[in-house]
């Protein structure tokens, strides 16, 4: 598969119709939506096969319902988003008009990860199409069955010069990242994101990088430990912790540690009635990932940290369903506290003062998400104002990503830009500034010779 030829075809098609109108864009969005619905059972089965186990309910929610919600939101909002925006004109240019006119960029590359293999392909694709572009999509090689189904779905739904799909491993991905796209969207790890940014820079291709990191969940002094435990347990158990915005670790006001950890264990037991073998609990994506997670735990135990496993393991050596673990006060130099965990392990760390917790978060790379549990307005205001993270949810986890009106993305090492909602539409459009001069103001004030009244007026 020659990606340069694919890009050429996409680019030629774009140049033949560089500004598709709203009905064309809405038709593309509808086709994508209808295809996701029609292919749902095949997609869900492929995800299940790739992971070794993932419930239809979980895949349906995250990989089908979420992108469809994004597509519908884009369809409904598109005409408004496409409208040129009038901009105020200074007195010396009046009565000229000024406006910002969204224009498609051209061809956008999309490189996707494995953890939500459909959502993180179809979601950005929807916004790229809403903005009137064409796309080349590269799903993750770690979910090969899903990549094949996605490939078939996209081939059936779109002409090859509307949306092209390329499958393969890191070599193919690196090759895609080196193509001279008009924009490149990458969702994945910070380490690979750095390589993608380097490759794109050579073509001066602008990038949207949706990366990872360690997203803290903070229990302020005013937190309700039971409420916090329930939402943090859910955020950590969903997709077995393999979510870019899963709460990575909990920072807990010291007096709340006991009730929080008890409630957390209880919430996990309630959500996983059959332990790690519970039907709604997903597997770890590969043996390599499972081994990495086990070694993080082994290192923590060797360093003397207490590890609590609230539910039993899943039977069967071949199954990659890992029982969740809570690790109490692990030393900060452990890999567990340095790397993004991306699995069902929750370190719990006590702190004594808000300033100490704020400093601890600020000392690390900027997180993708920050979760604050606080009942007092004063705690909320302090954390909202003084912490810096890609996004934030108060008294909940994960759900800010499902709020269509909010952009979603990282800051610093957790990423740059956002493909969600109107922000995504603008990101994949060139918001072209246009000045339309009036007959009544020919600009002659600025034409030489600058003598007499002109010289005085220009001063
Ligand atoms: P990854 O970085 O290993 O792989 C992502 C994609 O990059 C894959 O398609 C892969 O083929 C491709 N790739 C590999 N080498 C490449 C190269 N040299 N050039 C270009 N592309 C290359 O990430 P992953 O393991 O699939 O996903 C997990 C990571 O993704 C976690 O860090 C997680 O936090 C992050 N993530 C972020 C978001 C977000 O929205 N911010 C969402 C999901 C996952």
Q: With 0-12 CB in 10 A as exposed, 13-18 as middle and 19+ as buried, what is 80? A: exposed
pLDDT of residue 317: 64
**Paired strand residues for 165:** 137
Pocket test for ligand 1, best of 113, 136, 248 (most atoms within 8 A of CB): 113
pLDDT digits (tens, 9 = 90+) for 188-228: 999 999 999 999 999 999 999 999 999 999 999 999 999 99
User: Which atom of ligand 1 lies closest to the CA of 116?
Assistant: 43
- What does the block give as tokens for 232? 């943090």
User: Which atom of ligand 1 lies closest to the CA of 174?
Assistant: 19
Residues lining ligand 1, judged by CB closer than 6 Å? 111-115, 120, 138, 140-142, 169-170, 173-174, 177, 187-189, 192, 195-196, 210-212, 244, 340, 342, 368, 410, 415
Query: How far apart, in whole angstroms, are the C-alpha atoms of residue 309 and residue 345?
Result: 9
Three-state DSSP at 210 gives: strand
Q: Which one, of 215, 214, 218, lies nearest residue 373 by Cα?
A: 218
Average pLDDT, integer, range 356-382? 97
Query: How far apart, in whole angstroms, are the C-alpha atoms of residue 198 and residue 99?
Result: 34
pLDDT band at 353 (very low <50, low <70, confident <90, very high): very high
Q: Over the range 304-336, which residues count as b (16 or more CB within 10 Å of their CB) and which as e?
A: ebeebbbbeebeeeebbbbbbbbbbebeeebeb
Gap between the terminal Cα atoms of the chain: 63
Query: How far apart, in whole angstroms, are the C-alpha atoms of residue 42 and residue 375?
Result: 44
> Is the pTM above the cut of 0.90?
yes
Q: Which member of 58, 162, 210, 340 is catalytic? A: 210
Residue 377, pLDDT above cutoff 70: yes
Query: How far apart, in whole angstroms, are the C-alpha atoms of residue 317 and residue 356?
Result: 43
Provide φ and ψ at 26, rounded to 5°: -65, -35
Residue 319, pLDDT above cutoff 80: no
Mean pLDDT, the chain, rounded, equals 96
pLDDT of residue 372: 98
Three-state DSSP at 207 gives: strand
Question: What structural domains does the chain harbor?
Answer: 3-211+414-432 (3.40.605.10), 216-402 (3.40.309.10)
Please tell me the distance between residue 286's alpha carbon and the centre of ligand 1 in angstroms: 15
Query: How far apart, in whole angstroms, are the C-alpha atoms of residue 29 and residue 27?
Result: 5
Residue 318, pLDDT above cutoff 70: no
């Amino acid at each position: 598969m020659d990606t340069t030829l694919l890009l050429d075809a996409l680019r030629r098609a774009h140049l033949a119709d560089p500004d598709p109108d709203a009905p064309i864009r809405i038709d593309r969005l509808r086709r994508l939506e209808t295809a996701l619905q029609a292919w749902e059972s095949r997609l869900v089965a492929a995800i299940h096969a790739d992971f070794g186990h993932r419930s239809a309910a979980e895949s349906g929610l995250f990989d089908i319902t979420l992108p469809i919600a994004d597509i519908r939101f884009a369809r409904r909002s598109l005409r408004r988003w496409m409208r040129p925006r009038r901009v105020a004109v200074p007195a010396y240019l009046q009565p000229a008009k000024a406006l910002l006119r969204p224009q498609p960029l051209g061809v956008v590359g999309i490189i996707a990860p494995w953890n939500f293999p459909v959502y993180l392909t179809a979601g950005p694709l929807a916004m790229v199409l809403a903005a009137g572009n064409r796309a080349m999509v590269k799903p993750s090689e770690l979910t090969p069955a899903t990549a094949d189904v996605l490939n078939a779905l996209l081939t059936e739904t779109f002409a090859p010069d509307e949306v092209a799909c390329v499958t393969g491993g890191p070599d193919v991905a690196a090759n895609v990242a080196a193509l001279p796209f008009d924009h490149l969207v990458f969702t994945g790890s910070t380490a690979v994101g750095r390589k993608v940014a380097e490759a794109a820079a050579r073509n001066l291709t602008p990038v949207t990088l949706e990366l990872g990191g360690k997203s803290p969940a903070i229990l302020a002094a005013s937190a309700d430990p039971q409420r916090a435990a329930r939402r943090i347990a859910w955020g950590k158990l969903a997709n077995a912790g393999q979510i870019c915005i899963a709460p990575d670790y909990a920072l807990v006001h010291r007096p709340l540690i006991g009730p929080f950890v008890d409630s957390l264990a209880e919430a996990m037991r309630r959500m996983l009635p059959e332990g790690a073998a519970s039907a709604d609990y997903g597997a770890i994506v590969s043996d390599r990932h499972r081994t990495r997670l086990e070694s993080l735990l082994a290192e923590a135990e060797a360093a003397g940290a207490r590890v609590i496993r609230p539910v039993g393991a899943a039977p069967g050596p071949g199954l990659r369903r890992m029982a969740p673990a809570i690790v109490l006060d692990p030393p900060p130099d452990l890999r567990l506290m340095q790397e993004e965990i991306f699995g069902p392990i929750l370190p719990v760390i006590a702190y004594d003062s808000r300033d100490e917790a704020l400093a601890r978060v600020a000392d690390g790379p900027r997180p993708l998400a920050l979760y604050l549990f606080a009942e007092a307005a004063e705690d909320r205001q302090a954390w909202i104002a003084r912490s810096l993270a890609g996004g934030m949810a108060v008294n909940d986890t994960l759900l800010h990503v499902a709020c269509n009106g909010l952009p979603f993305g990282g800051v610093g090492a957790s990423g740059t830009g956002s493909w969600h909602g109107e922000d995504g539409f603008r990101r994949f459009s060139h918001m072209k500034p246009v000045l339309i001069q009036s007959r009544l103001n020919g600009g002659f004030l600025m034409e030489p010779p600058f003598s007499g009244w002109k010289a005085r007026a220009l001063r």
